[in-house]
Amino acid sequence: MKHLITGAALAAMLATGAAQAQETLRMATIAPSLGQAITMATFANIVNDNLEGVTIEVAGGGAATLHQLEIGRGNLEMSMTSPNIYDLMAAGAAMYQNEADAAEAAENVQLLMWFPYGQYHYAVRGDSDIQLLDDIEGATVFIGPQGGGAYHSARRWIEASTGLVVGEDYEAISANWQTGFQAFLDGSVEMYVNGCLDPCQQFLQFSETESLRFIQPEMTEGPEVEAFLGEYSFLEEIPAGIYENQTNDGPVISHNTSVGIAISADLDEELVYQITRAFWENLDQVTSQAPWAAALDVNFAAEQRGQMQLHPGARRYYEEVGAL
């Protein structure tokens, strides 16, 4: 198998750019329009442009929970992950409870890097009567595709911070990301939620023609909020003035979490070291065109979150640069 090239041989071939060293790695992302998929595609582009002998092929669409399982089964090399998703897979719990091989497959999945998911943006039109998240009672909203991680996170944040319950106090439409955003553009939903690193493509597009305002709950602390945040989420501000026609007078408090790039444990240490190094040492090539990339941080990338372990090749790079 191509990923069983020995470390010494791989290092030599990467250094010389020998044709026989060509490695093609398969990366799966969520919907390509979403910020996390854009981050991962940017990762792949940087590596492809700066590391001879390696090509990362990106396919967008589908669920990160399934993609991670496919890494463990040997059918993919890279995908999106999160501390919660990995811990659930290792336990064979929740969405993995009917996958008999989930726990064993998790042993084949390691971490290349963490990055911020992006603040959850609870967005309304600038002239909306909804001033706080508490005001969505009776409203029709889009909080993500039902059954997905974003939907459940937004639903839980709303309930923890306002006490409002989906299906009882407000209606959340059932739609995919594209349809949900179109519903916001059309005005058929009063609030649209998306987690992303600013500036986000959806809000750049919306604010070209419409005024935009982000909202927060009246209360952003207390035992319910602390229980929601748990180990892996954290509060973070969305600044004013990011978008054209954004009407916020000041920053808005929201929540953020960690996601990452999972990688097959079968991949050679030298290969993963070279991939990790190529990305971080060339990240500044894209920050002028992709200002959100400034939020990517090598120390954040290497932190221990949950049970997931760094691939030895990635660990080697982070140790070299003092992130570990």
- Mind giving me the DSSP string for 33-69? TSHHHHHHHHHHHHHHHHSTTEEEEEEE-S-HHHHHH
Are both 2-116+258-320 and 119-257 of the same fold?
yes
Does residue 226 come out as left (phi exceeding 0), alpha (psi in the -120 to 50 range) or beta?
alpha
Contacts of residue 177, defined as CB under 8 A and 6 or more positions apart, other chains included, come to: 31, 33, 34, 144, 145, 194
Q: Report the pLDDT value the prediction gives residue 9, as an integer from 0 to 100.
A: 43
Q: Report the pLDDT value the prediction gives residue 231, as an integer from 0 to 100.
A: 87
- With respect to CATH, is domain 2-116+258-320 assigned 3.40.50.2300? no
Compute the distance between CA of residue 268 and CA of residue 260 in angstroms, rounded to an integer: 19
Contact status, residue 86 vs residue 55, Cβ threshold 8 Å: no
Contact status, residue 194 vs residue 31, Cβ threshold 8 Å: no
Q: Report the pLDDT value the prediction gives residue 239, as an integer from 0 to 100.
A: 95
Contacts of residue 169, defined as CB under 8 A and 6 or more positions apart, other chains included, come to: 136, 137, 138
Q: What is the mean pLDDT of each run of 10 residues along the chain (324 residues)?
A: 42 46 89 87 95 95 90 97 92 92 97 95 97 98 87 93 97 94 97 93 95 97 95 94 95 95 97 98 85 89 96 98 97
Q: Considering only the C-alpha atoms of the chain, give the largest distance between any 2 of them, rounded to a whole number of Å.
A: 64
Compute the distance between CA of residue 279 and CA of residue 69 in angstroms, rounded to an integer: 25
Does residue 162 come out as left (phi exceeding 0), alpha (psi in the -120 to 50 range) or beta?
alpha
Q: Report the pLDDT value the prediction gives residue 262, as an integer from 0 to 100.
A: 98
**Number of Cβ within a 10 Å radius of residue 291:** 13
- Any idea what DSSP says for residue 189? S
Compute the distance between CA of residue 294 and CA of residue 289 in angstroms, rounded to an integer: 11
Closest by alpha carbon to 311, among 96, 104, 71, 43? Answer: 71
| Structure token pair of residue 2 | 């191509």
Q: Report the pLDDT value the prediction gives residue 265, as an integer from 0 to 100.
A: 98
| Structure token pair of residue 276 | 């990790």
Compute the distance between CA of residue 51 and CA of residue 38 in angstroms, rounded to an integer: 20
Fold adopted by 119-257: D-Maltodextrin-Binding Protein; domain 2 (3.40.190)
pTM: 0.82
| Structure token pair of residue 98 | 């009917």
> Which stretches within the chain are classed as H helix?
7-16, 35-50, 64-72, 83-91, 102-106, 149-162, 177-186, 201-206, 223-229, 269-280, 298-302, 312-320
- Any idea what DSSP says for residue 120? E
Compute the distance between CA of residue 176 and CA of residue 274 in angstroms, rounded to an integer: 36
Ranges of each domain in the chain: 2-116+258-320, 119-257
Compute the distance between CA of residue 111 and CA of residue 321 in angstroms, rounded to an integer: 17
Cα torsion for 227, 149, 121, 29, to the nearest 10°?
Answer: 140
